[in-house]
Amino acid sequence: MKNIDSFTHVRGESLFVDDLIIRQDTLFGLCFDSPKAHGKIKSVDYSKAEALEGVVRIFTHKDVLGENQIGGIIPDEPLWAEDEVHFWGQPIAFIVADSEATAKKARALIDIEIEDLPVITTAKQAKEKGSFINAPRSFNLGDTAASFNNCDYVFEGETFSNGQEHLYLETQGCYAVPQENGNIKITSSTQGPTQVQKTAARVLGVAMHKIEIDVIRLGGGFGGKEDQATPWAVMAAVAVQHLNRPVKYMLNRHDDLRMTGKRHPYSSFFKIGLTKDFKIKAFEAEFLQNSGAAADLSPAIAERTLFHATNSYFIPNVKTTVYSCKTNLPPNTAFRGFGGPQGMFVIESAIAKAAHEIGVNKRQIQEANLLQENDEFSYGQIATEVQARSSWHAAKEAYNLKKLEEDVISFNEQNNHFKKGISLMPIAFGISFTNTPMNHARALIHIYQDGSIGVSTGAVEMGQSVNTKMLQVAKDILGVSSDRVKLETTNTTRVANTSPSAASSTADLNGKAVRMACESLIDRLSNVAAGMLSVNKDIISFKENMIWVDGKRSDLSWNQLIMQAMLERVALSENAHYATPVIHFDKSKEKGHPFAYHVYGTAITTVTVDCIRGIYEIDAVKIVHDFGKSMNLGIDIGQVEGALAQGIGWMTLEEISYNDDGRLLSNALSTYKVPDIFSAAKTIETIPLETGGNQMAIFKSKAVGEPPLMYGIGAYFAIQDAVKAFNKRYTIQFHAPFTPEKVLMALYEK
């Protein structure tokens, strides 16, 4: 089944926030944000801006009737700065005017005086100064100190991975409209409608039921709208509260790039110990996360770094610690993989360093340590239904790794201007919110009396096709054709108290709820059908818009049955709640079973480096991926390919840059390079690993959103492999992204 939005997408008819028909009395908002990364606000003069014709009002923290606080995990982030600013781009005020153009003119007329305070831009500086968001966390298994003494090889090293801009095609935005009695309806481009609702209620000082959030769909989220869609919607809501007029706020690209957080840059240190036969006996890592100026989701992201610090390897002695370092950058936030990719880059770097120093192929060390059934992760979960070795060997065989490697070697023997490199990248990614209480979802199904069906869930459609999957679940369980099923918008009045659409878990959690609701309806409708057909209820089934008895099609149609159910006053609506069973985690011990299951896979990446220019091409990425039993392979492979491109971009091209004053230099698409069709891998092949699927996944079809991003890490090591083939004196380094500039320097380093 195709993505149900493809028709309207292609025709440009799909609705996003900016496409909504707005009320005639709508006003337009615009943020005035800090022009300094750290300082005391001495004075702000709004008089010239306020005097501009068309400016209705300028809102500041003084207009907050509730709490000027938007921090979720830790309450450390004001909606609007009060006496101090902590990052360049921090919201200070909100201009509301009769047009966007007027608001923009007004913004230029605001005079602000800020007394500079010292600016921290890197995690290392923050650690030196003791500037942290919260206490560090550590996951420990076995005894690393003792086991390093028994290793034949011990290596240490340092890594850096930079941030990443989400670059959702649709920028952040919202449209807030007053209703009667002070109620407000906000259409928001958010992954977390409940988070927006809850925060708006908190800042406005009203009950949650006065705020309704509606989400049609997002033009991409990638984690950037898990937490950071909230402030804009809340600002607009404050304005509505005071003005009783609709307020729209769509960020332009420059403002969005400057004011929002990104993937966290990490500076990390590792120590790895191996035996002669390449078994990794001990691994230590210290992760310095550049959290930015406020917590946002950083503590949860730091935690996931620890969860994925050993990737798909079994290491019996592990000691990992993460520091969330407070700096004067915009608060960094969720980004596809959520700290996992940063952790995996470090273990892969440690293995690469060991291989380089010992003088063997990196994959020999990787292969010797892949997870097996019943191995223990550092956080106590026992690995089951492990597909680390199976996907690794399936990839080697399906793509003839031996031949691929021989081709690289012979190419490199014959060429000096160009060199090829190859790498293998296995992944293991845990599925579930690491914060156990977030793993729940609800669905509300209405069957209308004409037999058509409306499905509401807490899932937010952001291009990942979750609505298509929800429709598949409903139509399969109810036995109706897809044209009978409509997916409704995601709305807090229909489905309340939702977790954000995140953690790759949205289809699992909401899909299970849809399934449960549909099964309850089927149970009730079976009674009605049994009566109409004078048969036992247990032999009734639903298929192709008809009712079947004992596997044979009856004359009773779905529509006739629904009409009869109406007459018999049977409830045709159902609400269901799903909470992931089994999972638990004890933070006081840092042990438990946090994940419903893991997703595995292996990618083989080959690249060609131009050794005169330092530029490179990704020749091919050949993947064996564990989809479980995919319920929609077309959509799932699309997710793999998109995540791969995003992962390769993070590892190779996308270079976020702030100057020492904390100003974003890569503040436009002329200075921030994202993957395009020319930099995409020339070939991508994805083979589904044959497995039985996983019961914890919806229809045994495993979560697919985030895991394949980490295949992109393979590109870094494939390029490094090519550099090594050219420059025998290359000092191995782990500093991502491996941009052409850095490749050039590595090629000619003496």
Among 213, 300, 473, 513, binds ligand LUZ (CB under 6 A): 300
Q: Which of 518, 517, 521, 523 is nearest to 575 (CA)?
A: 517
Which positions from 384 through 443 interact with ligand LUZ, judged by CB under 6 A?
Answer: 433-435
Residue 300 binds which entry of ligand LUZ, ligand MOS, none, CB below 5-8 Å type-dependent? ligand LUZ
Instruction: Identify the active-site residue in 367, 590, 706, 741.
Output: 706
Which one, 190 or 468, has the nearer CB to ligand MOS? Answer: 190
> Are 596 and 385 contacting, i.e. CB atoms less than 8 angstroms apart?
no
Which one, 221 or 601, has the nearer CB to ligand MOS? Answer: 221
Residue 433 binds which entry of ligand LUZ, ligand MOS, none, CB below 5-8 Å type-dependent? ligand LUZ
Closest distance to ligand LUZ from the beta carbon of 335 (Å): 8
- The two tokens of residue 210 are 């006065």
Which one, 460 or 502, has the nearer CB to ligand LUZ? Answer: 502
The one-letter amino acid code at 53 reads E
Which one, 334 or 528, has the nearer CB to ligand LUZ? Answer: 334
Give CA–CA dist 682/404, Å, rounded.
15
DSSP letter at 133 equals S
Give CA–CA dist 312/316, Å, rounded.
13
Q: Which of 95, 584, 151, 164 is nearest to 334 (CA)?
A: 164
Which one, 260 or 720, has the nearer CB to ligand LUZ? Answer: 260
H helices within 31-132, ranges in order? Answer: 47-51, 100-108, 123-129
Give CA–CA dist 421/719, Å, rounded.
6
The one-letter amino acid code at 310 reads T
Among 329, 502, 715, 747, binds ligand LUZ (CB under 6 A): 502
Closest distance to ligand LUZ from the beta carbon of 347 (Å): 18
Which one, 217 or 263, has the nearer CB to ligand LUZ? Answer: 263
409-415: long-range contacts, CB 8 A cutoff, minimum separation 24: 412/722, 412/725
Distances (CA, A) of 716 to 618, 671, 705, 740: 10, 21, 21, 12
Q: Is 651 in the site for ligand LUZ (CB under 6 A)?
A: no
Which one, 337 or 737, has the nearer CB to ligand LUZ? Answer: 337
Closest residue to ligand MOS: CB criterion: 223
Q: Is 596 in the site for ligand LUZ (CB under 6 A)?
A: no
Please name the residue that has the structure tokens 């709305």: 491
Residue 191 binds which entry of ligand LUZ, ligand MOS, none, CB below 5-8 Å type-dependent? ligand MOS
Q: How many CA atoms within 13 Å lie on the side-chain side of 237?
A: 34
Active site residue 706: yes
Interaction site with ligand MOS (CB under 6 A): 191, 223, 226, 334-336, 338, 502-503
Residue 304 binds which entry of ligand MOS, ligand LUZ, none, CB below 5-8 Å type-dependent? ligand LUZ
Q: Is 503 in the site for ligand LUZ (CB under 6 A)?
A: yes
> Are 607 and 719 contacting, i.e. CB atoms less than 8 angstroms apart?
yes
Closest distance to ligand MOS from the beta carbon of 504 (Å): 6
Q: Is 308 in the site for ligand LUZ (CB under 6 A)?
A: no
Residue 335 binds which entry of ligand MOS, ligand LUZ, none, CB below 5-8 Å type-dependent? ligand MOS
Annotate each residue in 445-484 with x if it binds ligand LUZ (CB under 6 A) or - if it does not, as one string.
----------------------------------------
Give CA–CA dist 252/31, Å, rounded.
11
Classify the C-alpha dihedral 702-707-712-717 as positive or negative. negative
Q: How many CA atoms within 13 Å lie on the side-chain side of 154?
A: 12
Closest distance to ligand LUZ from the beta carbon of 173 (Å): 21
H helices within 420-557, ranges in order? Answer: 466-478, 506-533
Residue 126 binds which entry of ligand MOS, ligand LUZ, none, CB below 5-8 Å type-dependent? none
Give CA–CA dist 249/27, Å, rounded.
9
* Residues forming the site for ligand LUZ (CB under 6 A): 226, 297, 300, 304, 334, 338, 433-435, 502-503
Catalytic residue positions, numbered: 706
